[in-house]
Structure 1
């Protein structure tokens, strides 16, 4: 693990720069060493070559231009004489030798006493390997600057043919003469190389720091920005490219912070809107995967845990009749509206596609709009119209029938006429009550009711209502009892409307309580409200009908209600009046045991 960290460390930009500096120093010093070695060798060879060529030009080494093949022996004797050796000493030394060979037989004719090999046959074989000697055999001057290696010895050599003769002059120069100098040069170069490496390491490290430290700071800052920390601004320490980069990075971070803050605000705004919308929202990507679902839809669909259902499964489960392919790939597809039911709710589902920056489909949004209340209102409206029509048609039919009978001659029979006119009058009163109730409901619905607020005793009002209904109660041999619970404050309300509610509740109790039954009324106070409870011992109301008891025209026993002269609007009107006074009206009932209505009114209604 430690080795891996070290390797990573040496792969850093800083050590790469240091390595580059060291490599540059190595290349420069190596180039200098090679160049210096080549220069010294070239210098010594050129000095050797120029000396020989100068000797030939001045005639010291030239046997004469008029030499012939017959003079070859004379030339050899000449150079083997003491006089010639003395002359050659000027050009030769312990590291330079002179040899004469016969170019036809490669036989050594002469070699000075400084020759590196006294065995002339071996010497001939060595010389035959020389490129310069081979050039001389071809009639050219062999002056190629290349080392000739024999065993562990290195030489420069020079070969020159003697015109008009088969003889070849061959000179050899041992590298040992300047090898010592080269060794000293190389030692100096090695020391210089070591110093250059150390200096490169130091200067490279210092210089790389000036580059890598700002970059490392930028890197750490970039990591903090990636984690959401935009707090610190990097200090710009120079005006070079690194300084410009730091300045640009600070500007980028500032702009990025502003953009991210704006995106975050928009995201929070959208999430808040989606989470607090009354409609359910669900979004899918093109793969059909859920990417967002708001809390309203989770409640609507009854989702409590994570949900991994794709779009097509979702569409199939809730009978939506669409697929992700249909929505995503039909160019003419814009939006789609589907009606469905989820549990006991009526829902309208609106589908729409959302696109990417290239205006290509990127996913689907489905909006679930709960229209249960609207649907119920529509049904209630239709039922209300049907009920009103039915309620009006029944008395109108009776009136028309009896009127036609009277017109056809029944007027002659006074008893029949009186009976028929009585029915017509009764049905007309029934229509009047119905129209009157409808008008009152209309005024309540449209807040057009005129309220006459006064302060009165609720207990006294209850007893007055009992007195007004006393005759009807006596006819059915019913007992009405009123109880006062504690001290009851006077209330501020519309006395006539509250009386209307109490009369309606008491009348219903009397209607549905058999002869000899009992009706108990309790008046009391609870906190800042007063209440009236009306409990009878009548037939009761089925539990399934209790939630709808205050609906307009709703009757638990329609035939019996009509026989008793009810319009089916009394309880609806009572509820509207009590709620307009910021009160409550509720009912409990058991079949065969009776019904209990409770009316709660604030002491001050606030109308």
Structure 2
């Protein structure tokens, strides 16, 4: 017989027995509950009405006496209302009471109710007549009726209490009968339950022989396989599913043996790859506990594998807690790449490394381990230090070159200044000897302009060797120094000509700074010399700002007499304006525009990075 058939047969037998037990138990329980509920509903209403009969008779008597005493018409009405309520409660009892003794009490109560109503009506009528005639009511004249009222009310109350007592006795008898019947059902349920338990034990023993014993053999064989005995086989000859399972188990054991050999080979292959790596490989838990290291790590640090396994990675890496990913993210981007740090060897020696780590997840998305790879960069660091030292030496040399160029330009400027002094002295001497003065002002102007041009270029080199990076110049500071030098060169006092600067913090390299500085030198010189003749007062404005698209804008204007309308600054023979055009368009690859409204304004636009 197949296991399925065995299980179904046993299940059906036990289910039938259990179902019979449950049905009988449910029936007995419902019977008891129904009996109690019916008794509660039946006797509850009778008990409530009986109590109300006693209450209404007493209150009807009380309101009657209050009316006779206080003459309040409200009490008169309430007395008749209580009689009516008393009749309603006896009507309820009349429809539910079935016991002969209780019916006798109920009929007596009805008669007494009629009598009580008659007595109350008589007393009230006598009261009303006397009050109308005499204005007072004399109780002594009607003591017989009053005593009759009291006797009637008392008997009604006693009947109500007697009804309550009788109905309670009947309810208790009914409940006792229901309990006896339920006890009979429970005994039957208990007997069938014993039969069901015995049947279940017999079926269990049969299943144990046909199912449990073979399963125990399978379990013992599985334990042997778990302990490494992959050659284990079991011999079960039954023709049910257990026999089929044993055959499949034997084939599985054979496949496991084969797969285990393949896994061992694969593991050895992986071990060879890991240990042949030149870089250090460290596998840690998510908390940084070392679980695996390769041969390169052991050779580099001087530890044995046993000394590292189980230790925190902070033992061998500085700032390890900051280098390991501290949590799993849903996008699996928790990777640290190429961070420079240091190993700490067993001898407490720091070894420079490039460190990378990434989180390894299982197929369910849970963190499994953290894989860390470190590359020894000691030789590279030595090379970098040598390069840095070489760059520092070249930086010092470059500063010295800029300093020497600046000094040489200052020497040239001094020579030009000395030459101008000689020309002035020659004019003075010739005037004394011959009485005539040679007009060399044009020559002095040429020397002055040349000197200022040299100073503008010298100032670029001065700012470069004073800057930090030797590549860029703070041009705002440069324009300020250049303007001061030009005003001093032409002996211009701030009282006559005012200089206004609106210059942004812009950095220029030497290829842009020198032509831009020469342009500013020429434009300020031109304004100082020609824009304000005969001591005329005015202003010179310098605007230098950045624009969109890496463009720069230089604007130099004055509010002087302006250039002649027919003067074309691109074709003039003036060296200064010719230099402005050549430097702006050929050196800076920019555009030059002129505005002659309210003086002279030159607008030059060029790119911040030289093309």
TM tier, shorter chain? Answer: under 0.3
Q: TM-score, normalised to structure 2's length?
A: 0.28
* The structure with more strand, counted as a fraction of residues: 1
* The structure with more helix, counted as a fraction of residues: 2
